[in-house]
Amino acid sequence: MPTTLKEIAEKINVSVSTVSKALKGYADVNPETKKLILKTAKEMNYKPNSFAVNLRTKESKTIGLIVPEIVHHFFSSVIKGIIAQAEKKGYLVIILQSNESYELEKKQLELLQNKRVDGILVSIANGTSKFDHFKEVIDNDTPLVMFDKIAKIIDCSKVIIDDRKAAYEATKYLIEIGCKKIAHFRGPLLPQNSIDRFLGYKKALEDFNIPYDSKLVYVLNDVSFEEGKYYAKKLVEEHKNVDGIFVNTDLVAIGAITAFNEMNIKVPEDISIVGFSNWFMSTVVSPSLTTINQPGFKMGKEAFKVLYKEIKAKKKNEEFRYKKVVLDTDLIVRNSTKPILKS
Amino acid sequence: MPTTLKEIAEKINVSVSTVSKALKGYADVNPETKKLILKTAKEMNYKPNSFAVNLRTKESKTIGLIVPEIVHHFFSSVIKGIIAQAEKKGYLVIILQSNESYELEKKQLELLQNKRVDGILVSIANGTSKFDHFKEVIDNDTPLVMFDKIAKIIDCSKVIIDDRKAAYEATKYLIEIGCKKIAHFRGPLLPQNSIDRFLGYKKALEDFNIPYDSKLVYVLNDVSFEEGKYYAKKLVEEHKNVDGIFVNTDLVAIGAITAFNEMNIKVPEDISIVGFSNWFMSTVVSPSLTTINQPGFKMGKEAFKVLYKEIKAKKKNEEFRYKKVVLDTDLIVRNSTKPILKS
DNA sequence: TTTCTAAACGAAAACGTTTTCGAAAATAAC
DNA sequence: GTTATTTTCGAAAACGTTTTCGTTTAGAAA
């Protein structure tokens, strides 16, 4: 049904080659015939058959993206950034979700490679502890960039924030407003960023001479609102005088706030809470949540930019080095933390 | 680099045709040679070149999806549903966002057609008032299914909720709890669902003998949190004794609640609020928001199912009729509305 | 033996591009 | 007028499949 080069060629009695060359701006075609070709191509509403182009050029101008979860403020912001940047460069984005599962992640990585996408962007699932599937991608010469949740062990480009530093800042702020006994709701054991956030928390305690108590660290599993409520209750059952919590993710922090509200524990008077990620929700919860702003949209754009450079470099067989982009975060002070102490 | 049929064929001295046929389970290949072919294919890690398959079969097992906005609780739920269902059938999903703009929507529709996706799923932008670009898609014989924000005028399959009925229920509930003067923050003028929600609101007033006052209807533009705050303030400036509002979308309703909280107007004692969509956020705002639950994930799954059937039918040149799927909604009562009156 | 049928295979076309290379025609140089 | 050079074009291969249609061979039927 759609017009082909051949049909254009037959219509004006030239060869398929010249039509192709005219359309692609080659120099060895007479300006007159070129004009005619362009005109008839437009008249016949010619659109190159992308299947044929893909086969011939061995590229699809499509990238794959795997995120752990789509219905998620941070990840949807990243997705938006990736798509926006990709579109600028004429790339389309196929999105897959791993649901935090290693098996799904592995399967989807294979799916994308079989589709022969030009590159892959991935944020690793919480359930992933083996990384061979990523190594395979790299060995297959498919450009791969990790963002947010990365694997330290895999040698590839990465776009991240400095989770450790951000967590340090958050904890430090709790200390600065006068908190003496600070708990941490940390993410699952595996993902690098929950490790780093934990380490930042611990380092801040050390630096300010607050004894670290492992009993004050609660390990989240599914990082949900409900878990926030659950561990908030557990915390007050198991400990007295806790006056600050640094929470791995806003959603969980909001769960905690909700639980404290229900238990008539005053936030921030009795306990101050700092979240992480700056979900929009954090502005509407009461009290609004002090948190670390994590630039999702920007991270998406940067991740695509890095991937794009790798794709281009590989196409031209140029050398290139893996890049590590670290994005800035900042502390957003709202009402879930006490006012700062005057010294 | 990757193995081809030809390489397998050469290795075991058969023709490309037999290799292909063995791999695809054709009957006219000797069980012995078939076994050998399967074995060597596995050994050589053969993966069919999807570019070639696409070209040959004229299908890409890929669909396109256009949503007005990705960072949006409802739409991200829909996306999740679509991807989940598509994956089951071996389809991948390319996602594009129109940012509520007609021009972008049109451009992206063309992008997807040029990529020759097997079908397109779309939720129409608020800015769209002409629909020829959709007609073109249909004329081009590309299966097209609209969901949530549809165009009545375009003849194609649709997956929606009964916005009018849901809005009627929401407004009726406000009346039942005793509200006498009910405002409506409606969506922009164009999209069908904001029209329908408005009509449902109006019908409920009529049926219960409450005079309709167009001054109580405020037209939102960008349907944001800020707009919710803005119109909440405007409402109390311009009217006395308004005791109920039916709001087009949760996000806006939450903005309104926030504004009322700031103005020390008590929700629900002074004014009851019903939202629409049941964003997760609505459970954590204070007071929590009474709203209409809109099944995003299910809508996504259904939308893909309908599209899939059309793709299959068109491939086999079978007749088929456009389907209209209407999903159930329900009222979720929380704390932004007064308790129900006892009669 | 001859003829027929069925099983097993392969040649080749087709999908629609891109791009190399050689040929022809036109122009320039001498 | 001859030779060299440039312009302009087209043939053809290649990308890797799928699928039709013939051909070969072996065995069955006669």
Nearest to A105 by CA among A75, A126, A86: A126
Residues in chain B within 8 Å Cβ distance of A95: 79, 83, 93, 95
Q: Is the CB of A23 under 7 A from strand C?
A: yes
SS3 B166: helix
Tokens 């305690």 — which residue?
A205
A340 at B interface, C-beta within 8 A: no
Distance (Å, whole) CA A149 – CA A140: 22
Footprint of strand D on the protein (CB under 7 A): A 13-18, 28-34, 52, 55-56, 58; B 2-6, 16-17, 20-21, 23-24, 26, 28, 46, 48-49, 51-53, 55-57
Tokens 């040698």 — which residue?
A155
Inter-chain residue contact A47 with B113, CB threshold 8 Å: yes
Low-confidence ranges of chain B (pLDDT < 70): 342-343
Distance (Å, whole) CA B194 – CA B200: 10
Nearest to A299 by CA among A196, A161, A170: A161
CA of A317 to C1' of C19 (A): 19
Nearest to B82 by CA among B297, B280, B278, B310: B297
Residues B244 and B181 sit within 8 Å (Cβ to Cβ): yes
**Residue pLDDT, tens place only, B102-151:** 999 999 999 999 999 999 999 999 999 999 999 999 999 999 999 999 99
CA distance A343 to chain B (A): 31
Identify the residue whose Cα has the smallest distance to the C1' of D15. Answer: A56
Residues A130 and A103 sit within 8 Å (Cβ to Cβ): no
Distance (Å, whole) CA A220 – CA A231: 9
Distance (Å, whole) CA B175 – CA B184: 13
Among A48, A77, A225, whose Cβ lies nearest the Cβ of B71?
A77
CA distance B151 to chain A (A): 25
Say what the pLDDT of residue B319 is: 85
- For B:135-164, CB contacts with A below 8 A are 140-141
Residues B321 and B155 sit within 8 Å (Cβ to Cβ): no
CA of B28 to C1' of D21 (A): 13
- For A:80-109, CB contacts with B below 8 A are 80, 83-84, 87, 92-97
Residues making up chain B, counted from first to last: 343
B114 at A interface, C-beta within 8 A: yes
Say what the pLDDT of residue A337 is: 97
Q: Is the CB of B17 under 7 A from strand C?
A: yes
Nucleotides of D under 7 A from a protein CB: 7-12, 14-22
Residues A82 and A93 sit within 8 Å (Cβ to Cβ): yes
Distance (Å, whole) CA B275 – CA B142: 36
Distance (Å, whole) CA B51 – CA A99: 28
Inter-chain residue contact B47 with A114, CB threshold 8 Å: yes
Inter-chain residue contact A280 with B284, CB threshold 8 Å: no
Beta strand B62-67 pairing with B119-122? parallel
What is the DSSP annotation of B197-266? HHHHHHHHHHHTT----GGGEEE-SS--HHHHHHHHHHHHHH-S---EEEESSHHHHHHHHHHHHHTT--
Tokens of A206: 């050390």
**Which residues partner with A146 through β-bridges?**
A122, A158
Tokens of B271: 């004014």
**Residue pLDDT, tens place only, A2-18:** 899 999 999 999 999 99
| Residue of B284, B289, B334 for testing the chain A interface, max A β-carbons within 10 Å | B284
Q: Is the CB of A44 under 7 A from strand C?
A: no
A116 at B interface, C-beta within 8 A: yes
- Per-residue pLDDT band for A256 (boundaries 50, 70, 90) equals very high
Inter-chain residue contact B55 with A60, CB threshold 8 Å: no
Residues A194 and A187 sit within 8 Å (Cβ to Cβ): yes
List the single residue in B with minimal CA-CA distance to A280.
B281
Q: Is the CB of A56 under 7 A from strand C?
A: yes
Identify whether A268 is preceded by a cis peptide bond (ω within 30 of 0): yes
B55 at A interface, C-beta within 8 A: yes
- Per-residue pLDDT band for A27 (boundaries 50, 70, 90) equals confident
**Distances in Å between the alpha carbon of A35 and those of A7, A18, A291?**
17, 12, 60
Inter-chain residue contact B285 with A280, CB threshold 8 Å: no
Say what the pLDDT of residue B342 is: 67
Strand nucleotide closest to residue B7 (CA to C1'): D16
Q: What is the CA radius of gyration of chain B?
A: 26
What is the DSSP annotation of B295-340? -HHHHHHHHHHHHHHHHHHHHTT------EEEE--EEE--SSSPPP
* A180 phi, psi to nearest 5 deg: -110, -25
Say what the pLDDT of residue B248 is: 97
**Distances in Å between the alpha carbon of A228 and those of A213, B22, B335?**
20, 55, 21
Strand nucleotide closest to residue A18 (CA to C1'): D9
Inter-chain residue contact B94 with A93, CB threshold 8 Å: yes
Question: Which regions of A215-267 does DSSP assign to beta strands (E)?
Answer: 217-219, 244-247
Q: Is the CB of A221 under 7 A from strand C?
A: no
Tokens of B184: 């409506």
Among B114, B140, B284, whose Cβ lies nearest the Cβ of A50?
B114
Residues in chain A within 8 Å Cβ distance of B97: 80, 83-84
Residues A18 and A9 sit within 8 Å (Cβ to Cβ): yes
Q: Which pTM does this prediction carry? A: 0.94
Residue type for position B55: L
A51 at B interface, C-beta within 8 A: yes
Identify whether A339 is preceded by a cis peptide bond (ω within 30 of 0): no
Judge whether residue A343 has pLDDT over 80.
Answer: no
Query: How many beta-carbon pairs below 8 A join chains A and B?
Result: 113
SS3 B185: strand
List the single residue in B with minimal CA-CA distance to A286.
B286
CA of B86 to C1' of C7 (A): 40
Nearest to B21 by CA among B45, B44, B51, B41: B41
What percent of chain B stands above pLDDT 70? 99
Write down the H helix ranges in B13-49. Answer: 16-23, 31-43
- For B:258-277, CB contacts with A below 8 A are 258, 261
Tokens 């281009």 — which residue?
A312
Say what the pLDDT of residue B317 is: 83
SS3 A112: helix
* Non-local CB neighbours of A104 within 8 Å, separated by 6+ positions: A97, A98, A125
